[in-house]
Amino acid sequence: QVQLVESGGGSVQAGGSLRLSCAVSRSTDKRYCLGWFRQAPGKEREGVATIYTSGDTTNYADSVKGRFTVSQDNARNTLYLQMNSLKPGDTALYYCAAVQASSCAGLLGSGRFWNYWGQGTQVTVSS
C-alpha cells in the first residue's frame, strides 16, 4: 500500500518558481516508479516527470525539459518537483503518483498504468 500527499502549490507570475512536495508512504523493500502528472481544465491528464526509487533515473515531458526537475529524498520519504521559468500553460492541478515497477520506462505517457495517486495541488501561473 502506498499513500501520497502533495503540498507546495500556489499562485505565481510567469517566470517564477515553485517547488512541489509529495510525502510518500511506501514499502521500502519494493521498487517503485514515482511521478508527477498534471491536468488543466478541459484537458487530459499528462505526465510531467518520473523518477525511479532505485537509481534516480528520471524522465521528463518535452514541455518541461530544462525547466522542471524531479528529485527524491529517501531519508525524508519525499518526492519533489522543482518548477522554474513557469509559464501560464503550466497552470494545472498537479498530482504525484506511484506504481510498483522494475523501471519507469514507458510510464510517463499515460496515467492508466499508475495505481496510487495523491489528492492534487493547484498551480496557477499568471501572465
Which residue's entry shows cell 495523491? 118
Q: What string of H, E and C letters represents the secondary structure of 85-102?
A: CCCHHHCEEEEEEEEECC
Q: For the segment 91-103, what is each residue's pLDDT rounded down to a tens digit?
A: 999 999 999 999 9
Q: Does residue 7 register a pLDDT over 90? A: yes
Question: How far is residue 121's CA from residue 38's CA, in Å, rounded to a whole number?
Answer: 9
Q: For the segment 28-86, what is each residue's pLDDT rounded down to a tens digit?
A: 889 999 999 999 999 999 999 999 998 889 999 999 999 999 999 988 899 999 999 99
Among the listed residues 125, 51, 105, the one whose alpha carbon sits nearest the alpha carbon of residue 81: 51
Question: How far is residue 108's CA from residue 35's CA, in Å, rounded to a whole number?
Answer: 8
- DSSP symbols for 8-58: --EEEETT--EEEEEEEE--TTS-EEEEEEEE-TTS--EEEEEEETTT--E
Cross-strand bridge partners of residue 12:
125
